[in-house]
Amino acid sequence: MMRRREFIEQMGFVSAMALFPDLASAATENEAISAFAKKLKPVGRRLEMEGYYVWCNSPIEGPDGRIHLFFSRWKDSKKMGGWINGSEICHAIADSPESEFKFSQTILAPRGPGFWDATTCHNPSIKKVDGKYALFFIGNSNGKTNTKRIGLATADSLEGPWTRPDEPLLQAGPSGAWDDHCTTNPAFIQHPSGQYWLFYKSWNTAEYEHSTDPLVRGNRKYGLAISNELMGPYKKYTGNPVIDFSRRGNNTQLEDAFVWLENGRFKMLARDMGVFNHRYGLYMESKNGKRWKEPQIAYFDAEHYHIDQPTPPKYLNKYGRFERPQLLFQNDKPTYLFTTSQGGKYMTASPFIFKIES
């Protein structure tokens, strides 16, 4: 039976939460911080390129121990929106995760009229699969979101040459489906069964076109496609979408997923779009990759880490948040988190790296 003093203390706490909702929010946030988030130590920016926005930074350790970074970039004259109609995918190399990355070459550039990736190449995600290198990416053919499709380029070496596909790896769903708008943000794993699993983001066109949300049009969800061969065909899981936050209300959603297997569990990082706010990262786990647990905080924004940055120009409206999370694995363990963030010395965008402390 609750004692009188305990009852008074609990009622006082409840009253305080009602009077000061910010305290309630902080209490909830503290409970939701993942173990992953507690291991992160900011390292700083790398690969700042004059004249370019640098985005989508996917690292991998090479056979010689050097770190290879596959990233997207576009000319700064296009401002932030250039990713959709002028991005190319490039390669840079560093001796270690925290040392200077040096530009190597452009890997994939838009091919022009008549190709599915005519107007942009974006979202690189590099993997080593079956002894070769698999570079998942997206392209579009009209400079708009409704032709975004996932593709797969392959090479025997991180230095190339790369064989690029004449057709996308995964098409959008039929008209009216939850994923009829596009396939984008590829997140790949090789399943312990030997199957090839591809997670992808999409949304419904009608919801997107008739959206009344002043912040974000449409509601982004994640689906899963499975193949018995790396190059496909990939068959969409009948229980899609595997992640759907729309039932939470307030047009809650996510994007930029990265998926990996660790200690027999599926794990995911993603950019939060309303679970906690629009500035943090999300962390989730799953036993089977199809049903995911409640999201936690994977990482915070720049302000939380006391990162000193100058006042941004008005055209950088995503300033201070970290996007496109990708992990570097060394000896089969995640050692660094690579993100991208607006700002830097050229006031465009560049990689921002966190060390994952053991």
H/E stretch holding 17 reads: helix 4-19
d(CA 147, CA 120): 10
> Helix, strand or coil for residue 284?
strand
**CATH number for the domain including 224?**
2.115.10.20
* Intra-chain end-to-end CA distance of the chain, in Å: 43
Q: Would you say residue 17 has pLDDT above 50?
A: no
Task: Looking at the structure, tell me whether residues 132 and 236 fall in a common domain.
Answer: yes
- From 198, 234, 241, select the one nearest 219 (Cα to Cα): 241
Task: Looking at the structure, tell me whether residues 89 and 5 fall in a common domain.
Answer: no
Task: Looking at the structure, tell me whether residues 321 and 244 fall in a common domain.
Answer: yes
Token output for 22: 């910010």
Return the beta strands (E) in 175-239 as ranges: 184-190, 196-202, 221-227, 235-236
Q: Quick check: 342 and 80 in contact, CB under 8 A?
A: yes
Q: Would you say residue 352 has pLDDT above 90?
A: yes
Q: Quick check: 266 and 289 in contact, CB under 8 A?
A: yes
Task: Looking at the structure, tell me whether residues 39 and 139 fall in a common domain.
Answer: yes
d(CA 149, CA 153): 13
pLDDT value, residue 15: 47
Task: Looking at the structure, tell me whether residues 282 and 300 fall in a common domain.
Answer: yes
- Each residue's pLDDT tens digit, 218-266: 999 999 999 999 999 999 999 999 999 999 999 999 999 999 999 999 9
Q: Would you say residue 32 has pLDDT above 70?
A: yes
Task: Looking at the structure, tell me whether residues 148 and 25 fall in a common domain.
Answer: no
Task: Looking at the structure, tell me whether residues 114 and 27 fall in a common domain.
Answer: no
Task: Looking at the structure, tell me whether residues 133 and 10 fall in a common domain.
Answer: no
Task: Looking at the structure, tell me whether residues 138 and 10 fall in a common domain.
Answer: no
Region of 237 please: left (phi>0), alpha (psi -120 to 50) or beta: beta
Residues forming a β-bridge with 337: 327, 354
Confidence category of residue 29, pLDDT binned at 50, 70, 90: confident
Residue 12: which domain range? Answer: 1-31
Residues forming a β-bridge with 334: 329
- Each residue's pLDDT tens digit, 274-293: 999 999 999 999 999 999 99
Q: How many domains does the chain fold into?
A: 2
**Would the pTM of this model clear 0.95, i.e. be above it?**
no
pLDDT value, residue 28: 62
> Helix, strand or coil for residue 54?
strand
Q: Quick check: 218 and 208 in contact, CB under 8 A?
A: yes
Q: Quick check: 338 and 58 in contact, CB under 8 A?
A: yes
Report the half-sphere exposure of 283 (CA within 13 A, side-chain side). Answer: 17
- Each residue's pLDDT tens digit, 159-174: 999 999 999 999 999 9
- Each residue's pLDDT tens digit, 98-145: 999 999 999 999 999 999 999 999 999 999 999 999 999 999 999 999
Task: Looking at the structure, tell me whether residues 122 and 13 fall in a common domain.
Answer: no
- What one-character DSSP code corresponds to residue 81? G
Task: Looking at the structure, tell me whether residues 10 and 142 fall in a common domain.
Answer: no
Q: Quick check: 122 and 108 in contact, CB under 8 A?
A: no
Query: Cβ–Cβ contacts within 10 Å for residue 318, how many?
Result: 16
Q: Quick check: 111 and 119 in contact, CB under 8 A?
A: no
- What one-character DSSP code corresponds to residue 39? G
Task: Looking at the structure, tell me whether residues 98 and 12 fall in a common domain.
Answer: no
